[in-house]
A and B are shown apart, each in its own frame.
Chain A
């Protein structure tokens, strides 16, 4: 019997397995970035008009998918690295790429189903699209305002895609962000993806940019922030945030406001804050925050709930600008500076809360705190929380401990 089993096994290995899933590495189109825009109508060019370089480019970059139903609603651009043009020394011995040669290939496809558009892209390349190394998904603010539910299903279901892929909101056209030619990195997607790591030292960036995290918040019906990016020809700025109420973007906030949200939500990873320096006109002093711990406590009162926000900061007094650095830094000065920082941070938090309350989006996730800490009260208010949140009272207490 063992012989029979061995023969069966050998035969099956030869005739059954083979290489169904084997794709040679050089045959894969490694999609490293995806940009999603609202589908703009392709400008009609008069037949008599001579073909301008722009229209040729338009034709080259944007192809409508032969869709099965409905009208095209989205334009999906994918970025493929042209590996042989990479500056990384390669094994084929091709050497350094010629200056000015594109290192990426951006393919735009128009349609209303993302899987259809993704498959349609394969009509324009000899490679097999592969999302396993996707670094960023960039969504235009126009699309985000209509709701992420409309577009994320494909990315959630696709087994190749990792939930760690970073998601960004672009002000204006998302494709422009992919078109950026970075000065150091070869690919704009990787450049953008890696900016998120700097949230450790700059608190004005939203650090939780994972696609999976956004999906998690949407599933749990929580409001959240996503990073907003602005791009120029060779530079991308990741600063500030897009405020989401449910799955819809309702506003943008500045870097300073993102900083306050992170402080309140206890998501602060590191950064610097400044305040006016005492006894030194027109000068500022900087606090480099090492550790920030926030405790949000809901207190139920007769007229509603008050959130007591206690922010404890430990940090270094790191700079005084526009004031002599020879000024003596003694215990009294540090105590005075701490108070100034406390007032400044408190003001920043209070103003941010007020501003975001006006948008009605609970990005502080006070609802989660209430649900966790006061579940019986939450049961009473959960159905009308979005009506209650704009009027919720808060009490911000900041304690700064200067080293």
Chain B
């Protein structure tokens, strides 16, 4: 894995793909149940909060060049405190990766392959992900470079096709007696965008780190833009009352499109099929991050690193199958979207402060 190299432009596709997780299929429901018709404003605010988090992560990477998150955590925090800090990341990334797979498998079952057992789909998906991830970040990035345009095309098609069904009245009144709830919903909204955090795992592989920022921000804004547009479109088409009843509003949006002809009769199936590589990409990056966490946390020697990927198969499967039902899995996902906001607010600034203190000390010693 160490010899892998990434071009700065690949940070765009890696960041954007990792942000376009299954959250894009589910986020509207959670936001609308809190902020009602103003959920789109929550998403906008969430993007602003997310941008701050994204810049903090980028800064953390630049002041610890050549290190990824687990390495820098140990470097800054030392053997014991560093491991304690890293354990949070180890648990979070592993569970989030498993949950991503679980929620997507649910969507697959609901919209495409209802008779195939969840266990089977999960096993296949996890094995394929681990297979690719074990090849290293360069392979993941290469695969994502191919898949990314298809994903973007699908999303543009979905949003464009839903425009004729917009009803402006569905997002009115704007911010009427709803300021607090709108702000409240902006936290899970920013959590849903947390995929930008992949930068702290991928940055060390970038050949020209100075040029990476613009691609990183481009990736961030592409994905955040889709989150905003899809949230707005869903509310404009369904209204807040109906949106909050859907488990997968984005897929229901594709199911409800009426182009006035028999065109795209099963757009939702098309969407789900195209979404498979998208979730694969996102889960792949998370799994890669998790493997890196494990390697550094347990101080695994390079010759044994390949077995860490294998260990992830049962671990991810356990997490994916842990939730008893769909609602419970989605609730866990929502909780993790909130936890990650806490991590970004506390964990990342703490690492930045500790890094700066350590650097200052090093300068003084010199």
Contacts and interface: CB of A to CB of B under 8 A. Distances in A.
A196 to B, nearest CB: 10
B245 A219 contact: yes
Given A368-B169, A372-B173, A13 B115 contact: no
A197 B266 contact: no
B211 interface: no
A21 interface: yes
Given A164-B258, A372-B172, A1 B113 contact: no
B127 A159 contact: no
A21 B114 contact: yes
B260 A197 contact: yes
Nearest to A212: B256
Interface in A187-236: 197, 210, 212, 215-216, 219-221
B294 to A, nearest CB: 15
A13 B124 contact: yes
A5 B127 contact: yes
Interface string B243-257: 001000000100111
Interface string A368-383: 1101110110000000
B120 A375 contact: no
B169 A8 contact: no
Interface in B36-91: none
B177 A5 contact: no
Interface of A: 1-2, 4-6, 8-9, 12-13, 16-17, 20-21, 132-133, 159, 162-164, 197, 210, 212, 215-216, 219-221, 368-369, 371-373, 375-376
A20 B116 contact: yes
A4 B113 CA distance: 28
Contacts of B208: none
B4 to A, nearest CB: 16
Given A20-B115, A21-B113, A132-B266, A4 B310 contact: yes
12 contacts: A8-B127, A9-B127, A13-B124, A159-B111, A159-B114, A162-B255, A163-B252, A163-B256, A216-B242, A219-B242, A221-B241, A372-B173
B123 interface: yes
Given A212-B256, A216-B242, A372-B169, A12 B306 contact: no
Contact of A164 (B114, B115, B117, B256): B256
A47 to B, nearest CB: 46
A4 B128 CA distance: 12
A372 to B, nearest CB: 3
Nearest to A2: B134
Interface in B299-314: 306-307, 309-310
A262 to B, nearest CB: 15
Nearest to A5: B131
Contacts of B260: 197
Given A12-B123, A162-B255, A164-B256, 16 more contacts: A1-B306, A5-B130, A9-B124, A17-B116, A20-B113, A20-B120, A21-B116, A133-B265, A159-B111, A164-B258, A164-B265, A216-B239, A219-B239, A372-B173, A373-B172, A376-B176
Contacts of B128: 9
Given A9-B127, A210-B258, A375 B177 contact: yes
B238 interface: yes
Contact of A1 (B120, B255, B307): B307
Interface of B: 110-117, 120, 123-124, 127-128, 130-131, 134-135, 169, 172-173, 176-177, 238-239, 241-242, 245, 252, 255-258, 260, 265-266, 268, 306-307, 309-310
B258 A219 contact: no
Contacts of A9: 124, 127-128, 131
Nearest to B259: A164
Contacts of A17: 116, 120, 124
Given A17-B120, A132-B266, A219-B242, A163 B127 contact: no
Most chain A CB atoms below 10 A, which of B130, B256, B309: B256
A132 B115 CA distance: 15
B9 to A, nearest CB: 28
A5 B173 CA distance: 55
Contacts of B120: 16-17, 20
Nearest to A194: B262
B108 to A, nearest CB: 10
B310 A1 contact: yes
Given A20-B113, A20-B115, A21-B113, A12 B307 contact: no
A276 B257 CA distance: 41
B239 A1 contact: no
B337 to A, nearest CB: 25
Which 9 A-B pairs have CB atoms at the shortest separation, nearest pair first? A372-B172, A20-B116, A375-B173, A220-B241, A375-B176, A1-B306, A21-B113, A163-B256, A20-B115
Contacts of A372: 169, 172-173
A12 B127 contact: yes
B353 to A, nearest CB: 39
Contacts of B176: 375-376
Nearest to B131: A5
Nearest to A156: B245
A8 B127 CA distance: 8
Contacts of B117: 20
Nearest to B172: A372
Contacts of A12: 123-124, 127
B110 A159 contact: yes
Contacts of B256: 162-164, 210, 212
A81 to B, nearest CB: 15
Nearest to B238: A216
A296 to B, nearest CB: 10
A12 B120 CA distance: 8
Q: Which of B112, B114, B135, B173 has the most CB of A within 10 A?
A: B173
A209 to B, nearest CB: 10
A163 B252 CA distance: 8
Given A159-B111, A159-B114, A375-B173, A16 B123 contact: yes
A121 B263 CA distance: 30
A219 B256 CA distance: 16
Contacts of A220: 239, 241-242
Contact of A5 (B111, B134, B252, B268): B134
Contacts of B238: 216
Contacts of A197: 260
A216 B116 CA distance: 31
Nearest to B109: A159
A172 B123 CA distance: 53
Contacts of B257: 164
A219 to B, nearest CB: 5
Contacts of B130: 5
